[in-house]
Structure 1
Amino acid sequence: MANDKRLLIDRRAFIKAAGLPFLASLAPRSLHALERTDAVFASAFRDRNGAYGVATVSEAGEIIDRLVLPARAHGMATSRATGVTVAFARRPGTFFMAFDPARRREPIVMHTPPNRHFYGHGQFSPDGSLLYASENDFDKNRGVIGLYDARDGFRRIGEHDACGIGTHDMTVSEDGRMLIIANGGIQTHPDFGRTKLNIDAMEPSLVLLDAATGRLIQKHGLGGPLAQLSTRHVDLGRDGRIWFACQYEGPRNDLPALVGHFCKGDDLHFIDLPPETTARLANYVGAIAVNRRDGIVGLTSPNGNASVTLDEKTGRILSEAALREAAGVAPAAHGIVASSYDGHFGSRASDVAWDQHIVRLAG
């Protein structure tokens, strides 16, 4: 629990780190929003003119600042050591943009090698020196984790085999020694856009790698009746527990369990939600986030137009809410904040369409 206080940085730390030049650059309305919020977030969006960007957002959903993106983004990563944040292109995009939410340095746009594309997710090492990114080696139909030197302009310095296909979300253990990877198991190729090429022969898995060497530590493959349960998103819970969320590609009426957790050296444990809740999620959890301080797990389902929170310790449902086109979810100062494709963020609606994921910013 020692790092939970770092996870839940409040707006006072963000303001202090941002400094006077950034604060002076804000419009009075944005400055007022920043002064009132308990937490600060970032999320990608599409504006009413069809342009893409990334915004710094208050807990109430007030936009504090915006930056232009070259194309649509998906997931986000932030370094709690350096404050640098990254927006990753939506699959099969080939760019990420690294930026400082306080604008203390110019954004950097990087691209994958010619035979790779991003899957929309990544994470920093705890000291902020490395960025790990989920990528597709589409010529060989294998997922990889690209390694980028965050202290040298995000130069690509190598990669680890992700030991699976359809590598989607990933994170890094608290001590930085282990990569946690959700291999969705779905084959894609940029020549076919976002078409899923192997629905009848999927290979979903959850993988733990040694961060330094890429050595495989542990792999949980999903086969048999779970072979079409695409393992897509992960987040760290308490005491080394890893939470995961899935999207089912099988028959609509099957309604398998979609959420679970595991630890290093442990088996997968699926959460047995009530049938009506599983039906509400519509076989699709689009995002998952853990508030470790409060012991809450948040889920969103754009297909089910729903937001659900669970007790982290027991898996018991704490709340369910209708949220049209539910998108991102992140730990708030207390509880969970969620966004939607139709412009809702927390308690506020705005004139942008939020994309799938939110990241809470460090000071």
Structure 2
Amino acid sequence: MLLTRRHFLAATAAVSAVGLFSFVASKKAEQYWLVSAATDNKNQHFVCAIDLQGNEVSRIALPARGHDAINIEGKPGRAIVFARRPGLYAFEVDFISGQVVHHIRPEQGYHFYGHGVLSTKRNTLLTSENNYDTGNGFIVERDASNYQIINRYPSGGIGPHQIALMSDDETLVIANGGIKTHPEQPRKKLNLDSMKPNLSYLDLVSGKITEQHQLDNPQLSIRHLGVSAKDKVIAGLQYQGVRTDLVPLAVSHIQGSALKYLKAPKQQWRSMNQYTASICVDDNNALVAISCPRADMITYWSLDNDSFLGTERLSDGAGLAYTDKLFASSGKGQIAELAKSSNSSSMLPFSFEHLRWDNHLLAMKIT
């Protein structure tokens, strides 16, 4: 069933009338909880927090499927949760109390793409959004104190998906996936024959795109990002072409240089089934993890030289998060602590058989 804006507003009003379902278990003095959107076996949607012992400690109902979540600096136990594209909500959630604190809505004619970032220096929330009448992508900037829109910038392309801030907190890197969508056909890709994905950099001070880079294959959609402490960008790709094509699925980039494909044997690229989901950068170990849920694997790469290091098996593994350990979630209800090297074994996963975790996982600060 199509979730129209009218249906969505009715659903959120109904949720508000009865109070969001939530429960909170005893709070433990831990540094992080793991947060992910999830769907249960009745097709009900939630965002959940899991402690590092594998206990579900908070659950909040969502009116539609969620996607990514981000930490809020200075607010331990809180995160902003984004709807999956074409999304009509983002919530600021207090997982300790189990309450939705703010409901953030796109303006009429826009929808969210499931991702956003907070700029501490500017005290603003930035979200990737689609003007679905024109099909053009925008970065929308809101005051982080009240979530009122203060700026809107062209993203430099169609279908901006994940965005990330560089270390100056004023340069935004944008994965313009190149795929046109519309809420009346929520998951249909409308322009696969003419898509032009790119990686763009937006200067938030001037509001201008300062760099833009395209790949040699226009059907490699640039989707997800990881940024190192030294501003090296890793981008994960999803291929929209012929299913038998052999294509690389990740690139690295440093501002002022060209895009570079990560280095792997052809068979490794083939085994990833033309699809990547989340990216996690572990600066302490100069390691990059990239999830490939359609291939049931997590892949490891060198942050220093872009070389392929190995894989770890996790059925439908998609979400990735790093504390001082690397964690992954799966669409089959598992959350696992992963090995940081393909030469050792990970622990047995926590299993939540009644839940299907979405594609992203957040290590949320609670202290």
Asked if these proteins are the same fold (TM beyond 0.5), I'd say yes
User: In structure 1, which of residues 351, 355, 358 is the aligned counterpart of residue 361 of structure 2?
Assistant: 358
2:294 aligns to what? 303
**Cα gap change, 1:56 to 1:128, in 2 (>3 Å):** farther
User: Kindly tell me: are residues 106 and 190 of structure 1, through their superposed partners in 2, closer, same or farther at Cα, counting changes over 3 Å?
Assistant: closer
The answer to whether residue 262 in structure 2 is matched with residue 271 in structure 1 is yes
Structure 1 distance, partners of 2:51, 2:62, is 20
Distance 1:242 1:168, change over 3 A: same
Please give the secondary structure, in 2, of the residue aligned with 1:139.
coil
Is structure 2 residue 151 aligned with structure 1 residue 158? yes
Spell out the pairing of 1:94-243 with structure 2 (5 A cutoff): 94-103=88-97, 106-127=100-121, 129-152=123-146, 154-223=147-216, 226-243=217-234
Distance (Å, rounded) in 2 between the aligned partners of 1:281 and 1:310? 14
Give the aligned length.
330
Instruction: Provide the secondary structure at the position in 1 that maps to 2:267.
Output: helix
Q: 2:215 touches 2:259 (CA, 8 Å); kept in 1?
A: no
Q: Secondary structure at the match of 2:117?
A: strand
Letter paired with 1:342:
K
| TM-aligned CA deviation for residue 82 of structure 1 | 3.3
Corresponding residue for 2:13?
none
Q: Which position in structure 2 is the counterpart of 1:63?
A: 56
Alpha carbons of 1:285 and 1:133: their partners in 2 closer, same or farther (altered >3 Å)?
Answer: same
Separation in 1, partners of 2:52, 2:309 = 20
Residue of structure 2 aligned with 1:319, choices 310, 314, 322: 310
Root mean square deviation, CA, Å = 1.9
- Structure 1 residue 81: Cα displacement: 3.4
- 1:147 CA displacement: 1.1
- Corresponding residue of 2:47: 54
Which ranges of structure 1 fall in alignment gaps of 5 or more residues?
Answer: 1-24
Q: Which residue of 2 aligns with 1:27?
A: 25
| Whole-angstrom distance in 2 between the partners of 1:111 and 1:42 | 21
For residues 193 and 80 of structure 1, the distance between their equivalents in structure 2, rounded to whole angstroms, comes to 32
User: Contact 1:341–1:354 at 8 Å: present in 2 too?
Assistant: yes
8 Å Cα contact 2:112-2:129 kept in structure 1: yes
- Residues 256-265 or 115-124, more deviating: 256-265
**In structure 2, how many angstroms separate the alpha carbons of the residues matched to 1:150 and 1:122?**
12
In the TM superposition, what is the alpha-carbon distance from 1:263 to its structure 2 partner? 1.4
Structure 2: how far apart are the matches of 1:208 and 1:92?
A: 23
| Aligned partner of residue 272 in structure 1, secondary structure | coil
Equivalents in 1 of 2:105, 2:45: separation in Å? 17
Q: Does 1:284 align with 2:275?
A: yes
Aligned residue for 1:277, secondary structure, equals: helix
Unaligned runs of 5+ residues in structure 2 are 1-22, 337-348
* Offset at residue 127 of structure 1 (A): 4.5
Shift of 1:49: 2.8
Could you state the TM-score of these two structures normalised by the residue count of structure 1? 0.86
TM-score w.r.t. the length of structure 2 is 0.85
| Distance verdict in 2 for CA 1:60–1:184, change over 3 Å | farther
Identity of aligned residues (%): 29
C-alpha distance 327-296 of structure 1, shift in aligned 2 (>3 A): same
Give the Å deviation of 1:96: 0.6
